[in-house]
Amino acid sequence: MCVVAAASGLAACKSGGAQPSDFCKSLSSLNSTVSTINENPIAKSTVPAVKKSMTEINSSVKNLSDTASSDFSSEVKAVQSGAATLDKTVTAAVNHKTPATVSAARASMKSFTTDVKNLSDAATSSC
């Protein structure tokens, strides 16, 4: 049996009807949050949404780290490092918005997005 959670759009099955692992759920959540934060440029009007997305990213990365197998250790470490850098640069951009801090935040978001994509690609056969 395959169940789809309408609110999250997450299918609760994979081939054979098996439930997705906690790691796969964490990765799905992280991908969703990355998509959301990429839609929010740093501006006065978007600061609350950006801060909320950063809280969700940090939570998703922690869950991902807690559930990941050693098969993806290098990719997970890259995501953890990218999230830490992103948190620092976004905080700087939110607290002191200048062209330099916003540019640094955009660059770290692009890098973090790539890190998450690389992990997703590596985990495709598992999830």
pLDDT on residue 19: 64
| Number of folded domains that form the chain | 1
Most confident of 11-20, 48-57, 87-96: 87-96
CA dist., res. 112 & res. 126, Å (int): 21
Quick one: average pLDDT of 38-64? 82
CA dist., res. 3 & res. 59, Å (int): 25
Burial class (CB in 10 A: 0-12, 13-18, 19+), 92: middle
The pLDDT confidence band at residue 47, using thresholds 50, 70 and 90, is confident
pLDDT on residue 18: 56
The pLDDT confidence band at residue 49, using thresholds 50, 70 and 90, is confident
Q: How many percent of the chain have pLDDT more than 70?
A: 83
Q: How many percent of the chain have pLDDT more than 90?
A: 46
Q: What CATH number does the domain containing 112 carry?
A: 1.20.120.230
Degrees, nearest 5: CA angle 10-60-90: 125
pLDDT tens-digit profile of 75-106?
Answer: 999 999 999 999 999 999 888 888 999 899 98
Domain that holds residue 47: 20-122
Quick one: average pLDDT of 110-122? 95
**3-class SS string, 66-88:** HHCCHHHHHHHHHHHHHHHHHHH
Structural domain includes residue 11: no
